[in-house]
Each structure stands twice: as structure tokens, then as C-alpha cells.
């Protein structure tokens, strides 16, 4: 069996913030992939503004480095479970994985999720213990934890014999020794380990072609681009090939453009063969999981599984009194075009029309998946309104089932009681509890997904920001009866339109928490704060103080208003109730009632009670 020793295909996996993107930066720099005078941004792989701001990888990306005589293709995988579908497909493209683990935090749930997929594909692992220079780093214990995790996930004997490299990606140092003092300013130990341990792809380039699309990209010049691996044979520009669709039908097309990856760039190439990762243009409706073969030898590869959406929201054109003030794209046509364009590259997203031409049901993998789409649209100049996120109910064997999540919580011991109580109120069930003896507790629960909507904000305030929560999709289970989660308090709703005043704000401050600054434009039906109790209160926050010529007894006392609580987009989406919208524009995020007029709202509430 011939091997292509000039190439290695490897995926890099890690929990959010364990340093994989920084590690890739160092490999790119130290392998000589960049010219000496080339300026490279920090976290070069996270090239999307949102990824940089949040410090997470959203889109799977590939890069390639040249080390000695070998080309190493590196696939960067998302660490968040909302993007799990991409992870599984990437694992099909590579022969080995680099598992990056923080020397202090150890293994985390999302690492586990991705690693399970890698081990199932029989990939060869290398473990990189990163941040070895951290205070309280415990490299040996972390390696033991990784070994335990491998055993638990059913790794085979070869996979259990994984090599370990200790590194500090931020300093560009690594070594084979767990002692931080042994770190050398080089990534050579890691690069050598990749070459020596990751299997080279089989060279069967003289056999009939097989290429499978694992990821999609889109560009205005060449249209849809299918990214994948050539599993067999050779492909060249100008070749006429067969595309075997998901439903088994076959389409003929010509390879018009082919790109290879080098550094952070895509270079046009004329030919590629078995083992190469390439991007293919020239086919408008190419889709993930489809196979490209010669016309006279049609043999499809097994289909790739695509994660089903578990959460949906209604996107509506902005019809608030302030519609069209701040955005460039406000019409239903523009919003629909943008949502359909997103479907070109995001295979886990669904967009369904509704009875209204101004509303669409958008389904995704989770709150993060959908909120990133909303935030991206907002930055592109779109105005829209979105409803409360709801879980997607499925019927399995005649039983209505809802998605259930596996939740792992790390929290200081003192907050353990309130965390357990809050999760049980959301119909959560505890599976495991580990106390590490240093005042930290790790709790594991199974919780209905709808119980987690809006939980993160409560959780962070409950643990004073010290708690860490991670969750991954577990399964669909029969629906639990009764209300799960949701907001327990009402809201303060403006009954007037105008500018909020300091005087008006002070009049309603003691009723709850205010969300807006004085001087903000307000319309009737807009939510200006959260009530301290259940039920909504209509308030007049635009009220101005009556001017009189009588001097007040406390005139010289300066009145100070409390600082308002500003909600981020995620917090706003979590805060919503069924009868509310979140209005999103390039400059503002506003919460409002679906029915703006107070009397009409009350009539509608009475009607729905009567209907019940």
C-alpha cells in the first residue's frame, strides 16, 4: 500500500479558550509559512469580527503549513456544541487530531463531545497540554484526566498510547517534559510529533476519483464552493465529473476552479490527488455530503450526518414606530434574501416561510447559533424583530418529545446549593457530583433544553461570575409536564412616546430595574425595565417635572438615579416572553410588547384567558 508521505491531515480540537487558535498562529509562524516581512494578525484563524470579540471559533477553517518536506493541513474545529455538525464532518477529512487541553482546567465537556467524534472515526490522537506556564498548572494530573476520558469514551489500545507535548502557545514554547523550566522557544517537538505519529494518507491516485463535500463556502464571483477531501483518484480543472446528490440523482458538471490551502490563503491549483484537501467551484447547488466521481464510475461515499436544529425563532420585519430610522435593509425582500444567502453555507440552519409575507421561522442548533446570525445581520445594516426562542418538539413513535441537554457546571462550593435548587426548578436531574477538595465542585445534570433558555444570566449572577456552565445536546425525551424555566417577573412598559427623562425614571425606579438611560427615545409599548414582582406595569418614563416658582425644601439635595442595566443581544433574547419581540437595528437593541397599545393588550389577554 503506497502512502503519501509528503502530506498530513490533522484536526485541532479544544474547549473554548484553551488556546488552539493561538497554537495554530505559532505553528504558522514557526514553520516558515509566512515571509519574514509579512505582518500577521493575532489569532489569524479567527478572521471574523465576532469570533475575535467573543474569543470563540464559529466557522471551521483550514490552513496548511509546510514543515521540512511535508505539507500539514490543519482543520480548526469549533469548540461550541451549537456547531457540532461541522465537527463531525471535519473528522471525516483528517487522519489524526491534536487535542489541546488547558494545564489547569483539564478536560471540559465540549472537548469531550468533539473527542468522542474523533475516536469513533478511529483517528490517531496527539495530546497538547497548553498553558504550562499558568499559575497552579497541574500537567501530570491533566494527562491522567485525559487518559481516563479516553478510556471512558471507548478509545482503542493504539489510541490510548497517545504522545504528549507540553506547550505555552502564547509564548511559542514547547517540550516533551512536563516541567515548565524545560520549555524551549520552538514548536519543533509538536511539529515532529505530528509528522511521526499522524498517519500519512493512502496514495490511491491511480484509481477512479472520489471527492466528498464536507463544508460549504460562498463567494460572489464563483458562487458556491464545496470544501472536502479527495479520498481516491485525481481531479484536475476542466474535467467533466458526476455529482451524486443526496437523493441519489446524478448531475454532470465541469470543474471550473479548484483551490488548495496554504497559510491563510487559498491558491488556485490545476490538479489535486488522493489525500489533498481542496475547495471546488463550478457547481451551483453542490451540498454537504455529496460525492464527486467520474461519470463512468459512479460510486457514492456514505452520507454525512447533519445536526438537526433544536431551537427556533420567528424573524419579523421591523414594524415598530422607529422602523427604518437606523438600518439600510428594512424590507421583507431584503431580509428574506439575506436569510436564504445564509442557507448557502450554514447547513444546520432552516428557514421556513409563514402565513405572513413579513415573517419566517428560523431554526438552528441553539441560542448561540441563532444570536450570531442576528448579530451578523445587524452589523450588515439590517433591521428586524425576533420572537422568544422556542425548542422544536418532535413526535417519536407517537410521543411528543423535546430536546434534552447534558449540562456540566463548575462552581465554588458556596454556591452549590443555589445552583442545584435552580436547576431542579427547571426540571433538571443530577447525574454526578465531584468535589475536588479545593473548594470547587463539578455538577452534571440532564436538563430539558427549554429550561436552559435564559438560565445563563441567572446562573452568572447566582455564582457572582465564578461559575462555568457548559451544555451539549443529549437526546430527545418525552415532554415533561408543567412550565419549565421562563421569566418569573413582569416588565415595566412605557405608556407614552417621547424622550425618557431623569424625573420620569426616578418616579419608577423603585418599581424594578431600569434598562434605559435618561434621554433615550421611547415609544408606547416599549419595555423600559423589569418589574420587581409578577405582572406588567405601564409606566410614564417620559414625564417631565412641573415647573413652579416655589422653592422646594430639599432643593439643594442632588438626586442621583441608579445606573441602568444594559442587556446584550443574548440577554435580551433570553429575557423575552411569548408576547414580546426584540427589535434589532444596527445601533439599538430594544424590547417591546407585540401589541403596543395598553388597552388592546389587556383585551387580548382577556380573550386568551377566556379561550383557555
Give the pLDDT score at 68: 82
Instruction: Determine, yes or no, domain membership for 369.
Output: no
19 is in an annotated binding site: yes
Is 77 a residue whose pLDDT tops 60? yes
Instruction: Please compute the mean of the pLDDT values over residues 410-414 and round it to a whole number.
Output: 85
20 is in an annotated binding site: yes
Name the residue with higher pLDDT: 419 or 307. 419
Torsion sign, CA atoms 284, 206, 63, 113: positive
Using alpha carbons, list the distances in angstroms from residue 462 to 105, 132, 148, 172. 21, 31, 31, 38
17 is in an annotated binding site: yes
Indicate the residue among 451, 478, 505 that finishes a domain: 478
93 plus 167 within the same structural domain: yes
218 plus 170 within the same structural domain: no
Judge contact between 13 and 79, C-beta under 8 A.
yes
149 plus 25 within the same structural domain: yes
What the block records as the C-alpha cell of 478 is 418525552
454 is in an annotated binding site: no
Q: What is the pLDDT of residues 184-210, one digit of tens each?
A: 888 888 888 989 999 988 888 888 888
C-alpha 378/C-alpha 386 separation (Å) is 12
Strand partners, 522: 498
467 is in an annotated binding site: no
184 plus 35 within the same structural domain: yes
List alpha helices for 441-558, DSSP H: 449-452, 455-462, 502-508
91 plus 37 within the same structural domain: yes
Number of H helices, E strands in the chain: 15, 35
User: What letter would DSSP give residue 90?
Assistant: H
Is 476 a residue whose pLDDT tops 60? yes
116 plus 154 within the same structural domain: yes
Count other Cβ atoms within 10 Å, centred on residue 5.
12
Judge contact between 271 and 314, C-beta under 8 A.
no
Per the structure, the complete domain to which residue 45 belongs is given by 7-197
Give the pLDDT score at 41: 43
83 plus 128 within the same structural domain: yes
Pick from 601, 128, 220, 264: nearest CA to 592: 601
216 plus 245 within the same structural domain: yes
Residue recorded with cell 455538577: 443
Q: What is the pLDDT of residues 339-395, one digit of tens each?
A: 988 887 777 788 999 999 999 999 988 787 888 889 889 998 999 999 998 888 888
127 plus 264 within the same structural domain: no
Give the pLDDT score at 314: 94
Residue recorded with cell 449572577: 461
**Which of 19-33, 435-449, 475-489 is most confident?**
435-449
- Element housing 390 (H / E): strand 390-391
CATH number at residue 118: 3.40.50.300
Judge contact between 102 and 130, C-beta under 8 A.
yes
Across the chain, mean pLDDT equals 81
CATH number at residue 432: 3.30.70.240
**Which of 25-34, 77-86, 300-309 is most confident?**
300-309
59: phi then psi, degrees, rounded to nearest 5 = -105, 135
What the block records as the C-alpha cell of 67 is 514543515
131 is in an annotated binding site: yes
CATH number at residue 282: 2.40.30.10
If one counts the domains in the chain, the total is: 4
**In the structure, what pLDDT confidence band is assigned to residue 468 with cuts at 50, 70 and 90?**
confident
Give the pLDDT score at 567: 87
Judge contact between 315 and 335, C-beta under 8 A.
yes
- % of the chain exceeding 90 in pLDDT: 14
Give the pLDDT score at 494: 92
Give the pLDDT score at 286: 81
180 plus 87 within the same structural domain: yes
CA 585, 591, 593, 599: dihedral to nearest 10 degrees? -110
Residue recorded with cell 437606523: 326
**In the structure, what pLDDT confidence band is assigned to residue 237 with cuts at 50, 70 and 90?**
confident
457 is in an annotated binding site: no
509 plus 462 within the same structural domain: no
Q: Strand, helix or coil at 99?
A: strand
Secondary structure (H, E, C), 396-448: ECCEEEEEEEEEEEEEEHHHHHHHHHHHHHCCCEEEEEEECCCCEEEEEEEEE
Amino acid at each position: 500500500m503506497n502512502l503519501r508521505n509528503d502530506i498530513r491531515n490533522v484536526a485541532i480540537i479544544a474547549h473554548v479558550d484553551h488556546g488552539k487558535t493561538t497554537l495554530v498562529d505559532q505553528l504558522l509562524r514557526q514553520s516558515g509559512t509566512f515571509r519574514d516581512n509579512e505582518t500577521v494578525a493575532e489569532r489569524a484563524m479567527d478572521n471574523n469580527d465576532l469570533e475575535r470579540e467573543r474569543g470563540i471559533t464559529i466557522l471551521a477553517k483550514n490552513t496548511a503549513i509546510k514543515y521540512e518536506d511535508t505539507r500539514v493541513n490543519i482543520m480548526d474545529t469549533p469548540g461550541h456544541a451549537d456547531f457540532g455538525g461541522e465537527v463531525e464532518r471535519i473528522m471525516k477529512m483528517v487522519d489524526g487530531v491534536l487535542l489541546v487541553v488547558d494545564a489547569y482546567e483539564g478536560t471540559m465537556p465540549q472537548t469531550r463531545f468533539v473527542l468522542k467524534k474523533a475516536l469513533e472515526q478511529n483517528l490517531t490522537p496527539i495530546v497538547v497540554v497548553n498553558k504550562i506556564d499558568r499559575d497552579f498548572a497541574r500537567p501530570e494530573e491533566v494527562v491522567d484526566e485525559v487518559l481516563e476520558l479516553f478510556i471512558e469514551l471507548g478509545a482503542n489500545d493504539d489510541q490510548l498510547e497517545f504522545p504528549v507535548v507540553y506547550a505555552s502557545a502564547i509564548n511559542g514554547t514547547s517540550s516533551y517534559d512536563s516541567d515548565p523550566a524545560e520549555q524551549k522557544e520552538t514548536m519543533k517537538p509538536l511539529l515532529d510529533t505530528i509528522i511521526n505519529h499522524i498517519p500519512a494518507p493512502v496514495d490511491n491516485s491511480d484509481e477512479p476519483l472520489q471527492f466528498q463535500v464536507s463544508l460549504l463556502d460562498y463567494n460572489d464571483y464563483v458562487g458556491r464552493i464545496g470544501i472536502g477531501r479527495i479520498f481516491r483518484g485525481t481531479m484536475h480543472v476542466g474535467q467533466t465529473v458526476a455529482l451524486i446528490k443526496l437523493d441519489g440523482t446524478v448531475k454532470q458538471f465541469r470543474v471550473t476552479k479548484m483551490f488548495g490551502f496554504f497559510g491563510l490563503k487559498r491558491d488556485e491549483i490545476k490538479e489535486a490527488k488522493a489525500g489533498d484537501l481542496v475547495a471546488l467551484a463550478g457547481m451551483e447547488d453542490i451540498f454537504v455530503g455529496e460525492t464527486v466521481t467520474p461519470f463512468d464510475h459512479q460510486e457514492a461515499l456514505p452520507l454525512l450526518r447533519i445536526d438537526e436544529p433544536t431551537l427556533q425563532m420567528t424573524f419579523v420585519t421591523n414594524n415598530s414606530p422607529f422602523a427604518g430610522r437606523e438600518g439600510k435593509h428594512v424590507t421583507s425582500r431584503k431580509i428574506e434574501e439575506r436569510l436564504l444567502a445564509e442557507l448557502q453555507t450554514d447547513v444546520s440552519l432552516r428557514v421556513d416561510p409563514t402565513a405572513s409575507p413579513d415573517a419566517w421561522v428560523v431554526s438552528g442548533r441553539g441560542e448561540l447559533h441563532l444570536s450570531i446570525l442576528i448579530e451578523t445581520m445587524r452589523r450588515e445594516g439590517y433591521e428586524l424583530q425576533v420572537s422568544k426562542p422556542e425548542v422544536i418538539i418532535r413526535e417519536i413513535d407517537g410521543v411528543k418529545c423535546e430536546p434534552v441537554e447534558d449540562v456540566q457546571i463548575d462552581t465554588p462550593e458556596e454556591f452549590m446549593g443555589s445552583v442545584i435548587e435552580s436547576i431542579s426548578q427547571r426540571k433538571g436531574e443530577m447525574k454526578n457530583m465531584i468535589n475536588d477538595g479545593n473548594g470547587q465542585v463539578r455538577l452534571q445534570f440532564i436538563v430539558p433544553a427549554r429550561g436552559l433558555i435564559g438560565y445563563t444570566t441567572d446562573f452568572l449572577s447566582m455564582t457572582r461570575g465564578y461559575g462555568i456552565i457548559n451544555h451539549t445536546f443529549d437526546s430527545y425525551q418525552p415532554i415533561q409536564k408543567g412550565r419549565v424555566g421562563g421569566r418569573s417577573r413582569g416588565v415595566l412598559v412605557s405608556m407614552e412616546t417621547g424622550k425618557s427623562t431623569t424625573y420620569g425614571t426616578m418616579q419608577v425606579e423603585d418599581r424594578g430595574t431600569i434598562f434605559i438611560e435618561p434621554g433615550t427615545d421611547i415609544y408606547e409599548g416599549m419595555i423600559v425595565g423589569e418589574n420587581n414582582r409578577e405582572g406588567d406595569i405601564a409606566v410614564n418614563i417620559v414625564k417631565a417635572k412641573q415647573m413652579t416658582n416655589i422653592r422646594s425644601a430639599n432643593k439643594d439635595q442632588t438626586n442621583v438615579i441608579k445606573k441602568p442595566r444594559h442587556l446584550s443581544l443574548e440577554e435580551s433574547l433570553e429575557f423575552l416572553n411569548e408576547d414580546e419581540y426584540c427589535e434589532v437595528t444596527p445601533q439599538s437593541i430594544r424590547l417591546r410588547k407585540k401589541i403596543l397599545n395598553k388597552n388592546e393588550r389587556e383585551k387580548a389577554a382577556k380573550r386568551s384567558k377566556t379561550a383557555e
